[in-house]
Structure 1
Amino acid sequence: MRFTDWLWQQGIDWLNTTPRPEDFSALCNFEFLEREIRPADVLLFAGQSRVSKVIQTVVLSPWTHAALYIGRLNDIRDPKARSRLAAYYDGDASEPLVIESLLGKGTVVTPLRHYRNEHLRICRPASLTWQDADKVVNFGIEHLGMGYDVRQLLDLARFIFPYAILPRCWRSSLFQHNAGQPTHIVCSSMIARCFQQVHYPILPIVHNAQQDEVRFYERNFRLITPSDFDYSPYFSVIKYPAWNTGREPAYRTLPWHQDKEDFHELVNKIPAAIPEPSGYAPDETAITAHLADGTGRTGQRQRLVGLRTLFRQAGLVSFARSLH
């Protein structure tokens, strides 16, 4: 392995690392999700890795990753698609599977149970026919083996971020037209291509050509982010709280903390704040919410502050100081 390849792999491993993983299994009923999810559903993830935190900063959304649920190997009706899927997955044929594009791995197939402890959300294409759902799944299977497009991820960040050293469209991979199928892709773009294959809308551009004439235009699939499936009016959002079973209303069965202590007395017992030492710099992400000036600049400020904090955590103080 060349030194540059080794260095690249070390950087990918660092970005994919989760410093302090959280377990969401106490909040979410994974068994309910597993029963309710259908082929062609989009699964959103609130990632916890370092690269997920960067994506959250750029897109201003907790949803940092998306996967396409394809069902079980036995559920695939098309023989060609089933054969291709079997070439990339040799596990139990009755295992629920998703297709996703991952940094450092490319487009792969993963068992759904792998994400049991993650914060997930189902986005369902509400009016998609079962015939088109099969086409979406089959087209997703065609993407297996593709590499992860790191360049597209960086160009998307440059396009969305309000401050750019280089012009946003200069030498950008987002607006290049390549004949044929791409060889590298990111998670949400891969899924967007699958739905565009059957002309199912995500967040289309609507143009009123005349008074009684409306035209829909498909967005560039490279500009689709995971949160767009959450925002789309053409996808139903399905949630699965852990306490949602039985005939009695679920909120009545929640295990609330029952303590005779008055809440105000509990608050009064909180120790007084410790004076800040000289030269102390507060975490800017904690005070960003108070910087809104009503002019629409809050989102830009949040992205800038988030990147400065990320650079400080990575030890790149000089980069953090250069962002103003």
Structure 2
Amino acid sequence: MSESISIRDRIGQALGRWLERDRPQFEPRAALDPDTLVRTLRRGDVLLVEGRAKISTAIKYLTQSTWSHAALYVGDMLPGQGPHMLVEATLQDGVHAVPLSRYARANIRICRAVGLSEAESEAVARYMIDRIGYEYDLRNIIDLARYLFPTPPVPVRFRRRMLALGSGDPTRAICSSLVAQAFQSVRYPILPDIRRSRAHGSDYSRREIFHIRHHSLFVPRDFDLSPYFEIVKPSIRNGFDHGLIEWAVQSEAKNLG
């Protein structure tokens, strides 16, 4: 039994290395100035990334979204590892810390939970830090890989289920699932199911009850779509004046074209 598990893991790791290779033709459309980004980020912010690896193609297809990866900003909570750190889960390295500079040339989006106290933001970050060293869940990595080949006509309503990779092993994690669990640990909603309930035998009331969804169903774009997360754009947050833009004159623009 252990031998078959070992073979499966070796196959998954080899496939993971191939899936995480960057596409050389990828170019960022709106990479942010690092200094501006650092001034804007707060502990507990979710960083969504438009990945440039092969696996990103499959995730983007299944989620119908630009965003294929999610990480959490923990700032300086990791002594000796720099002042601007993220915690993320990747195929090859599992749950680990990386400097913010890793995504200096990536298309990113900052999503900020609204109304969290400083203590709650620290608790969310601590949840991620405490799981550094966990493995990435490779259970259905082959299923992901097959979406890189002639794209199967999977109905949109079924695609999210294709990413519910949870193996049931608490020491394994998926990027967006782990971030979702971190916020659920402080009872913060992401995209809760909102249902009406019958109270005390009366007619259906208008009261809405938040049902926390299972973390394995969360994907990176859910933080973008959530009504409880603010989209933070550093270029606007730090002051933007369109009148200061130096536009190319028409002749120069034609030459550039």
TM over 0.5: yes
Report if aligned partners of 2:55, 2:144 keep a CA contact under 8 Å in 1.
no
Residue 221 of structure 1 corresponds to which residue in structure 2?
A: 215
Distance in 1 separating the partners of 2:218 and 2:7: 34
**Amino acid of the structure 2 residue aligned with 1:59:** T
Residue 54 of structure 1 corresponds to which residue in structure 2?
A: 58
Residue 186 of structure 2 corresponds to which residue in structure 1?
A: 198
Question: Would you say 1:260 and 2:251 are equivalent positions?
Answer: yes
Residue 201 of structure 2 corresponds to which residue in structure 1?
A: none
Report if aligned partners of 2:31, 2:104 keep a CA contact under 8 Å in 1.
no
**Amino acid of the structure 1 residue aligned with 2:84:** P
Q: How has the CA–CA distance of structure 1 residues 96 and 52 changed in structure 2, closer, same or farther, with 3 Å as cutoff?
A: same
- Residue 27 of structure 1 deviates from its aligned partner by 4.5
Q: Deviations over 1:163-183 (max 9, x none)?
A: 9xxxx79xx755x7x5xx711
- Residue 4 of structure 1 deviates from its aligned partner by 7.2
Report if aligned partners of 1:153, 1:186 keep a CA contact under 8 Å in 2.
no
Residue 242 of structure 2 corresponds to which residue in structure 1?
A: 251
Taking structure 1 as the reference length, the TM-score comes to 0.63
Question: Would you say 1:128 and 2:116 are equivalent positions?
Answer: yes
Residue 41 of structure 2 corresponds to which residue in structure 1?
A: 37
Give the number of the structure whose alpha-carbon radius of gyration is greater.
Answer: 1
Distance in 1 separating the partners of 2:93 and 2:226: 28
SS of the residue corresponding to residue 101 of structure 1 reads: strand
Distance in 2 separating the partners of 1:232 and 1:60: 15
Residue 293 of structure 1 corresponds to which residue in structure 2?
A: none
Q: Deviations over 1:258-315 (max 9, x none)?
A: 233897xx9xxx9xxxxxxxxxxxxxxxxxxxxxxxxxxxxxxxxxxxxxxxxxxxxx
**Amino acid of the structure 2 residue aligned with 1:142:** D
SS of the residue corresponding to residue 151 of structure 1 reads: coil
Q: 1:102 aligns with which of 79, 90, 97?
A: 90
Structure in which a larger fraction of residues adopt strand: 2
Give the total of aligned pairs. 235
* Counterparts of residues 1-324 of structure 1 (less than 5 Å): 8-24=12-28, 27-73=31-77, 85=78, 90-92=80-82, 95-151=83-139, 161-162=154-155, 174=166, 178=168, 182-209=170-197, 210-241=204-235, 250-260=241-251
Report if aligned partners of 2:12, 2:141 keep a CA contact under 8 Å in 1.
no
Residue 288 of structure 1 corresponds to which residue in structure 2?
A: none
Q: Deviations over 1:139-192 (max 9, x none)?
A: 11121111001225667899x9439xxxx79xx755x7x5xx711110000010
State the percentage of identical aligned residues.
32
**Amino acid of the structure 2 residue aligned with 1:128:** L
Taking structure 2 as the reference length, the TM-score comes to 0.78
SS of the residue corresponding to residue 219 of structure 1 reads: coil
Structure 2 residue runs of 5 or longer lacking an equivalent are: 1-5, 148-152, 198-203
Instruction: Give the RMSD, CA atoms, in angstroms.
Output: 3.4
Structure 1 residue runs of 5 or longer lacking an equivalent are: 74-84, 271-324
- Residue 115 of structure 1 deviates from its aligned partner by 1.3
**Amino acid of the structure 2 residue aligned with 1:132:** E
SS of the residue corresponding to residue 150 of structure 1 reads: coil
Distance in 2 separating the partners of 1:192 and 1:9: 24
